[in-house]
Chains A and B, each alone.
Chain A
Amino acid sequence: MSEPSEPRFPGGLPQVAQHMTTSVPQAAALGLKLVAVGEASGTMEVPWREDLVGDPDTGVIAGGVVTSLLDHTCGLAISAAAKGQMFGTATLDLRIDYMRPAAPRAGVTAEAHCYKLTRSVAFVRAQAWDADPADPIATVQAAFMMSPRSA
């Protein structure tokens, strides 16, 4: 870990997390909600909405919505691992396995864990579920490039 020389949000991690849900246009458009921030982890939720459905035959939320939620939650976990230090993160790759479809008209929650953070790369695992974390709808493995930037 580098010394925390880059500018931070004065409010630290809570402010970063707040910023991620309200100030990022895509997150606001999806109605992403912050659930929790941990040591090097984060949890976010997307409530079900009619206009986010991928297949009207089933009423299940679209895979793309879950992709945005997972990508964003991974970013939150990286911020947590970086202790609120302000980084630019660029997704390198994202592998999503879909275990099963979400239940019709169900919102989705995702929890991500940044299990390794180097100077330039963050490695993250995540999973998403509708009702029970032990019965996931999707699991994720992702890598992100890190670049210091000013807030």
Chain B
Amino acid sequence: MNMNRRNFLRTTALATAGSSLAFAFGRGRFGFLPDETIKLSDLAAVSPQLEASFQQLLQWLSTNGWTNYLSKELGIDLSLQGDALKAELIKELDSEKLQAIRSKEGSGYDDFSGSRLVQPGFPAFSLLYHTLASPRVRASEFAAYPELKQIDILENYIHALYAFSKLKSDYDIASDKDLVLAVFAYEYRPAFKTPHHQHADIVYSRTGIARIGTEPINYDAINRCFTNNPADAAKTKLVAVTPARYGVFIAKKVRSNRVDLMKADTSKPGDPYNDAKDGEKWFLQPVRKLFNDDLLTNGSKIDFTELHRSEKIYKLHVTKKLPITGGLIPPVLDSAYLLMQDESRNAGSSFLVISIPRPLIRHALKDGQPLYFKVNKGTEDTRYFNSLNTQAVEDVELLQLNPQTKNGTYWHSVNYYDAPRKQPLFLNITHQKSGQSYTQLKREMNGSFDKKINAGAYDSPLFEDSICDGQVSVNTAGIDFAKLGTISKLCLPAFSIVTAPDFFPQVDCFDMLAYDIAPGRNKKDTNFYEGGTASLATLRMRPNPRVLDTKDPTYTAVLSKQSKKIPGISKEKLDTFQNPSVDKGYFVSGFLPDVSSSIFAPGWDITYSGTKDNIYLATEGLGSPFTEDMKLCAAMNGMWPAASPDAARTYQGGLEPEYRNTTAVPLMDDEIGLHADSPGGAGEHSYGWDGEQGPYIEKINGKWKVNFTDLARADVVQNTLDATLDMSKLRELTSKELISRMDCLRACIQKLPKKNFESKEKLAKMTGFTYHWLVSAEKANWGNEDVKAAGIPENLAGSKDWISNKMNAKVNGPGYLFVFIDTSKDDLDHRDWADYKRRRLTIDNLYVCQVTEKGIAWKEMMRGSKKDWQF
């Protein structure tokens, strides 16, 4: 037995001795760039195949204006050949010219961290890589932008030029036993989205998030990312599948103080699965990519493998004995059915997990036979609005007084993860078998629909979607390990999640952290009554053991190398990189867990399954189909996790009076759908992102009423089948825009008279507790442009000139026109139906707000419209 195996404890002792000591052991240059001169003789040999690929890339750069651009800006000559070219690649760049291009407004180099065109071994510190891979580098001289395969070649080339032995020295690797082959999802990101916000960097995770869609993948070359906007411009309302990209790396076992982790510092005391104790855990840090035509592996071909399963509908049979007509057992869906299996998966030496474009939801089949199930009789426990609820779940995270503090601060109660969802939590039952097909249950103004849903005993079609989870690995049998020392021939797979479309592809939970309440933050109020801003990147829970044999809870961590301060980047710039509300200038999109929601009830991107004592991440507990749960989550102020659409104000009147999520992230009237009968709807009516329509004010028999969609009659599954979901409504929304909306909403609630919903009556004045219902929202440029005031009826206060004419604005600049109402209580026994799915409630108060981030003017309209504007 090998006795030289001290590494585990050696590193352990170091970590427990105190993190301040750890750095003393590192090499001086570990912080991170080798600063000595690199000589040609230092470079490792590159295979002829890779050299040829690199030459082709250079040719492409020359043809498309990139070579000239680099020559003009930095005096670089990429037309050189042989050793002269290599010398040009590795020379120190002219520091004045480098600083000049960094400082040049809009150049996209302000977050570049290196000093050479190529820093052998380190793509992120190589200016050529930054130029090709950063979505912020764009210039009129560029005739085209590189494809992912070209960026992959450059990555490989930069790695290939550096001897592995030197890399081991740079990373302080004493023994091969601390190394392992592992698959990572990875992205090159501008400083805005790196864990350290110091400079652009490659960011890694052992988990990737691909997303389903109806259209084929679409690589947006100028933004250097895949977009869910279909390539066919006529299909912009639809959704393209988005892949996650994986590579295989030699990785090093490290403590958390050796890398920079994407952290939120919002972990709640008592949450057993947060990242607060990361100091006690081990992580894997990628050190060297392996690729095709790599001399380090004697030219071995990298052969990726994947295994995915969707057990959503199968588990309904296993755990709930769902009575399927004919005794059929729903199938486990596998990779062959769910994921692209052709060459499109290979992006050079990296691998893409791509969902097969299909209708978002489908009638499930077993061996070609459509599946129906007998709907059970409804009880309080088995129905939630018009969904079948398969399991009682109480682990919701509600805003409340923090019991652990005595000074009246608030928090979201802790999720104890004690209700694993072993099968879809919510099932759609709004359709029934009819002949050889099915029809939507008839919704009428009386209660017959609700009675039918509650009585059950009809055959409902079982719907499926393509959400699944799995693993990505590499077949190491084909890899020559001769030059890899004693690194094990096993490869640790990555966890792969293939989940719902991202309606807010440009916004993630981290963008909204400052707008939520959490321990360790000064923020005293929040817009979020339920859920909040938790990101999957901060969850520490093992992946589904049925797809990945590991118990490691660190899989969804997102990390980069430890950052270093870059001398050429000013403090102002660094502040900008940390500010989520600035314009970033590129389509901010990602596929790592930090852009994914954590577990909620049940969850949007993923949830947890298992037994109480042994839980794990899995998709099998998500809604069946996912849009059933999407409707419920959106109605509860934004699907629980913040960075997802918020339809609370569509349905607000129908929610329980003592438990009533307000809108947290306001969507505009057009985004949630403008009804044809609404004041501004004539000729301009539209359907919202979810195929539904928002509330509006009308006068009925001399009384002001709000007309709104009842949550128990809305049917987003039908909307999905009808393809009326509209991704284009929200796709372009940025964090800057959403933050502005949240700020303005907060300003209104602070100014308006306090009115909380029932059970929160005595609690603080904050958006999360408010009873005020945002019934209309419109973007405005106060004083500079007229507003439409589409939410305000003509007959509310005479001609609308008083609000629509820019001359009458009481505030100035970009902002919003918000209209709030308070309604009478929902009388369950005497509901006022407007049609088969819309109801009315009487309006008690009505407030009109002109609001900007700097100022607000508001006016109470109902109890005497003569009241003056208040400020």
Mutual binders A and B: no
